[in-house]
Amino acid sequence: MRLDEFLTLVRDRGEYHSKEEAEQVSTAVLWVIASCIAQEEAAGLASDLPAPLDEALRLERGRPETFGREEFLRRVAQQTGARPRTAEWDAGAVLSTLTEAVPDARVDRLLSDLPADCADLFGGPAPH
């Protein structure tokens, strides 16, 4: 998927005002994802995404961290400067777009690597 296609989907799903805002949110969510998955998995996911989104997954982070939905959303909120409820909306917009942008096998691995209680975020943004 091309960058403009990805960002248009995120913008529409997240109801953002611009592709720049969609890119900032996407980068923030991908950065948090990178902290939850193995470096090899992050590199694979990065290879499926257009630049510059892939860069958020290519940073050296050490070993994957394990945490739940609340911490996942707290970290997204910290990256975006948003409230946790807004971070849930942001994560849903990006994760649901990932399901269309990357192969199903990669989505399945992400679902197994991310907090189990985040699976609903892959189906679309939560209602406000």
For 38-97, the pLDDT digits (tens) are 999 999 999 999 999 999 998 777 788 899 999 999 999 999 999 988 999 999 999 999
Task: Name the token pair of 96.
Answer: 């649901």
The pTM for the full model equals 0.91
Q: What angle do CA 19, 21, 27 make, to 5 degrees?
A: 100
Q: How far is Cα of residue 64 from the mean position of the Cα atoms in its chain?
A: 15
**Residue 116's pLDDT band (boundaries 50, 70, 90)?**
confident
Task: Name the token pair of 18.
Answer: 């611009």
CA atoms within 13 A of residue 39's CA, in its CB half-sphere: 6
